[in-house]
Structure 1
Amino acid sequence: MKTLLRLMIYVRPSAGWVFIAVTIMILATIIDLVAPWILREIFDEGIDKRNMAVVLWLTLSLAGIQALKSAGMFVQGYTQELVGQNVVFLLRKELYSHLQRLSFSYYDRAQTGQLMSRMTGDIEAVKNFVGFGAMNLFTGMLTFLGTIIFMMTMQWKVTLISLITIPFILFVLWRFNHKVGPAWSNIREQMGRLTTTLQENIAGIRVVKSFATEKVEQRKFAERNEQNFETNMERAKLEAKAFPLMGFYGGLTFVLMIWIGAIFVARGEMSLGTFMAFQWYTWGIIWPLNMLGWQINIMQQAVKAAPRVFEVLDTPLDIVSPAGGTETAGMKGNVVFDRVTFHFADQDAEKDQPILNDVSFRVKQGEVIGVLGATGSGKSSLIGLLSRFYDVTGGCVWIDGVDVRDYELDGLRSSIGIVPQETFLFSASIRDNIAFGYPEATQEQIENAARKSQIHSFIESMPNGYDTRIGERGVGLSGGQRQRVALARAILMDPPILVLDEATASVDTATESAIHEALLEVMKGRTTFIIAQRLSSIQHADRIIVLERGRLTEQGTHKELNEGNGFFRQLFDKQKQIAHE
């Protein structure tokens, strides 16, 4: 019930259209209830009394109200769809907006396929109930009650006897409702898993083909598909058991009414016109109950789908912009990490080793800092804390003497240009990808950024230049080309802090050297963090910090660290040996 009440919040903006649809439904129901009564008058006052004028007038009246009903049904169908689509629009808008605000911690745990399933199939199930199921349920109940009232006023004895089978239909409906709910819950969950498997396979198709595991992935998908098939067939079995049984009891009601009605007509306790009207009214009893089974089906889909949507909407935002947050205009880029400790949200802070442990260092405006460390040492997490992708577990991160948690969030992230290790480009033109963070940029600014990232010449050589569209995730460009486009994207924003997270890992040594030479100008007066594995990437760093298992173990200039015997010296000797070989 709470779920249904919550859904009504999204119906409220369409209250006017709901009123129109319900009004038309009530009028259509009244027409359905009056039509058999007119049929009775045609037989009793027209045919029985040989009064063809009455027959003609009532027949035309019957045709007229049916035409009026048809016109009303057109408006009703449109308004119902409009209400349903408005609910879908609001739900998807709110869900997408919330997904945009959720932190990295949520996406570390969430499955993309499940989110896609909730954004599409689950919301569509809600629309079907809100737009049609709920209103038709109301119409059915109104028709059922109205029909019984009209029949009771005409011949109450026949009506009561004919309703003997109704409790059996209601019992079948009760059992069906009790069982179909869990069935739809399983179907929604299985569909989410199937979508996840499909999404992962498509996203990782190159890996699949590289390892020739197509058959393995086909078996995995086939298993998910079969589970989805079996779950749907279990639900279909419930429908196959309930609906024919309801149809049987409904048909029994019709037969019983004919038999009892015929007896009453023969006894003179019921007119022929009333008997004919009862044939019509009987459908007003059977149809709503049979349709109730389908409405329960639609309702249970929505009742099981809506919580999956609300589960995402109710996920708390753990990274939010503070009220009255500090503006970033004029940010210089003086950075301080003060005894910073960091655990991921699903880690046990008492048992698990922290990703970063008591890390402290200072960076002055315009300094270029190289960040070295083995895989898993916490290098990327360091930058994640700087941009508030995550919040520190302990300690503080300061920029220009202000805790990053006190900055206006969008302004903070716009002030830190990041070239991530895993480059992502959108299915759009190269120009749009470079200008992603600064859509108002001029063509000259875009080209200037591309030159500094050593990608301008390549773009000019393409058939449509900067208007060339690239495929999803940058398909059509090499790894190095994607990285250089991402680098141009960061340079264009002209941020006071620049982060290069393995930004040249996918380019050859010559291109890397050219990029770094071009970056010398870009990095002037700009605080820059260069996360790297290759020492050649940090040869221009003013200072280098070394992370090992989340701890800052070394920091100093290239020369100072080379004179020691720590991780830096060992990496230097190893890469020097490889170069000589």
Structure 2
Amino acid sequence: MKTLMRLMIYVKPSARWVVAAVIIMILATLFDLIAPWILKEIFDKGIAVKNMSVVISLTLLLAGVQALKSAGMFLQGYSQELVGQNVVFKLREELYAKLQRLSFTYYDKAQTGQLMSRMTGDIEAVKNFVGFGAMALFTGLLTFVGTFIFMLWMQWQVTLISAVTIPLILLVLWRFYRKVGPAWSSIREQMGKLTTTLQENISGIRVVKSFAAENSEKGKFAARNKQNFETNMERAKLEAKSFPLMGLFGGLTFVLMIWLGAIFVARDEMSMGTFMAFQWYTWGMIWPLNMLGWQINIMQQAVKAAPRVFEVLDADVDIESPDAGRETKGMKGFVTFDGVSFYFADQDRKSDEPILKSIDFKVNQGEVIAVLGATGSGKSSLIGLLSRFYDTSSGRVLIDGTDVRDYELDGLRRSIGIVPQETFLFSATIRDNIAYGYPGATQEQIEHAAAKAQIHSFIEGLPHGYDTLIGERGVGLSGGQRQRVALARAILMDSPILVLDEATASVDTATESAIHEALLEVMKGRTTFIIAQRLSSIQHADRIIVLERGKLVEQGTHRELSERNGFFRKLFEQQQKQQASL
């Protein structure tokens, strides 16, 4: 009930259309209730006394009632669909907006396929109930009650005796209602898992084919698909047990009514017109109960799907822009890490080592800082704290003397141009990808950024130049080309702080050298962090910071660290040997 009440909040903006649909539905139900009575009058006051004028006039009236009902059903159907679509529109809008607000902490644990399933299938299930199921349920109940009252008014003895099977139908419905809810809950969960498996396979298809793992993936998908099939068949078994039984009891009601009606007509205790009207009314009493099973199905789908949507909407947003966030206009780029420690949200702080522990260092405006360390040393986490992808567990990260948590969030992130280690490009033109963070950039600005990233000549050589469409995730480009497009995107932002996270790892040595030369101009007056494994990538760094297991163990210039017997020197000697062996 709580879920249904919450859904009604989304129906409220369409209250006018709901009222219109309800009024039309009530009128249509009244037409349905009047029609059998008109049929009764046709038999009793027309056919029985051979009065054709009454037959013709009442038949025309019956046709008019049906025409009015058909027009009303059109308006009702349109109103219901509009209400359902409005609810879906608002839910999808809120859900997508919430997904944009949720931090990296949420996405570290969330499954893309599950989120896609909630955005599509689960919301569609909600729409089916709000747009059709709820009104159909109300219509059925009103029709049943109204029909029962009309039948009692016309011939109460036949009505009561014929209705002895109704409690049996209601009992079947109650048992079905109790069991179908958990079944739909399992189906929604299994569908989310199936979508996740499909999404992962398609996204990683190149890895799958590289390792000739198609059969393994087929097996994985087949297992998920089988689970989904079996869960649906369990639900279908419930329907197969319940619906035919309801049909049987409904048929018995018809048989009883005909048998009793015939007896009462033979005794002159019931007119032929009333008998014919009861044929119609009995259907009006049985179909709402039979349809109630399908409506319960639709309702249970929505009741089990809606909490999955609300779960995302109710997820805590742990990183938000402060109410009176400081503007970043005029930011210079003085960076301070003051006693910074960091744990992931699900880490056990008593037993697990922190990702970063007691990090202290300062960076002056325009200084180029290289961050070195083995895999898992905390390099990317360090940069994530700078952009507030995560918040520190203790200590502070300051830019120009202000805690990053006090800055307006969008402004803070626009002030830090990032070239991530995992390059992501959108299914759009190269121009759109480069200008993603600065949609208003001129063509000249875009080309200038591309030239600095050593990608302009390549783009110019394409058949459509900057209007060339690239595939999903940039599959139309090589790894190095994608990385250079991402670099151009960061350069175009013209941010006071630049972060290069393995930004040249996918390019050859010659291109890397050319990019570094071009970046010398870009980095002038700009605070720059370079995360790299190649020492050639940090040759222009003013200072090098070395992380080991989350601790800052070394910092200094290239020469200073070369003279110490630490991580940097070992890495330097190792790469020297590798180059000598080539």
Aligned counterparts of 1:267 and 1:280: Cα–Cα separation in 2: 21
Aligned counterparts of 1:117 and 1:509: Cα–Cα separation in 2: 43
Which ranges of structure 2 fall in alignment gaps of 5 or more residues? none
Aligned counterparts of 1:262 and 1:13: Cα–Cα separation in 2: 52
1:461 and 2:448 matched: no
For the residue of structure 2 that corresponds to 1:441, the secondary structure is coil
For the residue of structure 1 that corresponds to 2:360, the secondary structure is strand
- 2:30 aligns with 30
- 1:62 aligns with 62
Aligned counterparts of 2:418 and 2:531: Cα–Cα separation in 1: 11
For the residue of structure 2 that corresponds to 1:25, the secondary structure is helix
- 1:570 aligns with 570
Q: Deviations over 1:469-515 (max 9, x none)?
A: 00000011010000000000000000000000000000011100000
- How far residue 134 of structure 1 moved from its aligned partner, in angstroms, is 0.2
For the residue of structure 1 that corresponds to 2:396, the secondary structure is strand
1:384 and 2:392 matched: no
- 2:78 aligns with 78
1:262 and 2:262 matched: yes
Aligned counterparts of 1:348 and 1:326: Cα–Cα separation in 2: 33
1:352 and 2:352 matched: yes
Aligned counterparts of 2:170 and 2:574: Cα–Cα separation in 1: 79
1:163 and 2:163 matched: yes
- How far residue 466 of structure 1 moved from its aligned partner, in angstroms, is 0.2
- How far residue 443 of structure 1 moved from its aligned partner, in angstroms, is 0.1
Letter aligned with residue 79 of structure 1: S
- How far residue 395 of structure 1 moved from its aligned partner, in angstroms, is 0.3
Q: How does 1:133-152 map to 2 (within 5 A)?
A: 133-152=133-152
For the residue of structure 2 that corresponds to 1:371, the secondary structure is strand
Report the TM-score when normalising by structure 2: 0.99
Aligned counterparts of 1:320 and 1:503: Cα–Cα separation in 2: 28
- 1:276 aligns with 276
Aligned counterparts of 2:85 and 2:349: Cα–Cα separation in 1: 46
- 1:434 aligns with 434
- 1:525 aligns with 525
Aligned counterparts of 2:568 and 2:233: Cα–Cα separation in 1: 62
1:490 and 2:486 matched: no
Aligned counterparts of 2:496 and 2:40: Cα–Cα separation in 1: 86
For the residue of structure 2 that corresponds to 1:358, the secondary structure is strand
Aligned counterparts of 2:22 and 2:565: Cα–Cα separation in 1: 81
Cα RMSD between the aligned structures? 0.5
- 1:334 aligns with 334
Aligned counterparts of 1:197 and 1:462: Cα–Cα separation in 2: 36
- How far residue 439 of structure 1 moved from its aligned partner, in angstroms, is 0.1
Letter aligned with residue 406 of structure 2: D
For the residue of structure 1 that corresponds to 2:438, the secondary structure is coil
- 1:503 aligns with 503
- 1:373 aligns with 373
Aligned counterparts of 1:245 and 1:452: Cα–Cα separation in 2: 75
Aligned counterparts of 1:533 and 1:97: Cα–Cα separation in 2: 37
- How far residue 424 of structure 1 moved from its aligned partner, in angstroms, is 0.1
- How far residue 52 of structure 1 moved from its aligned partner, in angstroms, is 1.0
- How far residue 293 of structure 1 moved from its aligned partner, in angstroms, is 0.3
For the residue of structure 2 that corresponds to 1:299, the secondary structure is helix
- How far residue 80 of structure 1 moved from its aligned partner, in angstroms, is 1.0
- How far residue 312 of structure 1 moved from its aligned partner, in angstroms, is 0.6
- How far residue 550 of structure 1 moved from its aligned partner, in angstroms, is 0.2
Letter aligned with residue 487 of structure 2: L
Letter aligned with residue 289 of structure 2: L
Question: Percent identity, aligned pairs only?
Answer: 81
Q: Deviations over 1:518-568 (max 9, x none)?
A: 000000000000000011000000000000000000000111111101000
For the residue of structure 2 that corresponds to 1:155, the secondary structure is helix
Q: Deviations over 1:438-492 (max 9, x none)?
A: 0000000000000000000000000000000000000110100000000000000
- 1:444 aligns with 444
Letter aligned with residue 143 of structure 2: T
Q: Deviations over 1:285-336 (max 9, x none)?
A: 1000000000000000000000000011100100000001000000000000
Aligned counterparts of 2:167 and 2:186: Cα–Cα separation in 1: 30
Q: How does 1:30-429 map to 2 (within 5 A)?
A: 30-429=30-429
- How far residue 71 of structure 1 moved from its aligned partner, in angstroms, is 1.1
Letter aligned with residue 221 of structure 1: F
Letter aligned with residue 114 of structure 2: Q
For the residue of structure 1 that corresponds to 2:301, the secondary structure is helix
- 1:475 aligns with 475
Q: Deviations over 1:8-63 (max 9, x none)?
A: 01111111111111111111000000000000111111111221111110000000
Q: Deviations over 1:260-303 (max 9, x none)?
A: 11111111111111111000000111000000000000000000
Which ranges of structure 1 fall in alignment gaps of 5 or more residues? none
Q: Deviations over 1:192-234 (max 9, x none)?
A: 0000000000011111000001000000000100110111111
- 2:537 aligns with 537
For the residue of structure 2 that corresponds to 1:417, the secondary structure is strand
- How far residue 239 of structure 1 moved from its aligned partner, in angstroms, is 0.4
Letter aligned with residue 498 of structure 2: L
For the residue of structure 2 that corresponds to 1:545, the secondary structure is strand
Aligned counterparts of 2:502 and 2:349: Cα–Cα separation in 1: 29
Question: Structure 1: which 4+ aligned runs deviate by more than 6 Å?
Answer: none
Aligned counterparts of 1:473 and 1:375: Cα–Cα separation in 2: 25
Aligned counterparts of 2:410 and 2:162: Cα–Cα separation in 1: 69
Aligned counterparts of 2:351 and 2:35: Cα–Cα separation in 1: 76
Letter aligned with residue 492 of structure 2: L
Letter aligned with residue 358 of structure 2: D
Aligned counterparts of 2:12 and 2:368: Cα–Cα separation in 1: 55
Aligned counterparts of 1:336 and 1:451: Cα–Cα separation in 2: 32
Q: Deviations over 1:124-177 (max 9, x none)?
A: 000000000000000000000000111111111111111100000000000000
Q: Deviations over 1:386-412 (max 9, x none)?
A: 000000000000000100000000000
Aligned counterparts of 2:50 and 2:521: Cα–Cα separation in 1: 105
Aligned counterparts of 1:456 and 1:520: Cα–Cα separation in 2: 18
Aligned counterparts of 1:456 and 1:347: Cα–Cα separation in 2: 45
Aligned counterparts of 1:427 and 1:342: Cα–Cα separation in 2: 35
Q: Deviations over 1:233-275 (max 9, x none)?
A: 1110100000000000000001101111111111111111111
Aligned counterparts of 2:50 and 2:545: Cα–Cα separation in 1: 107
Aligned counterparts of 2:471 and 2:198: Cα–Cα separation in 1: 19
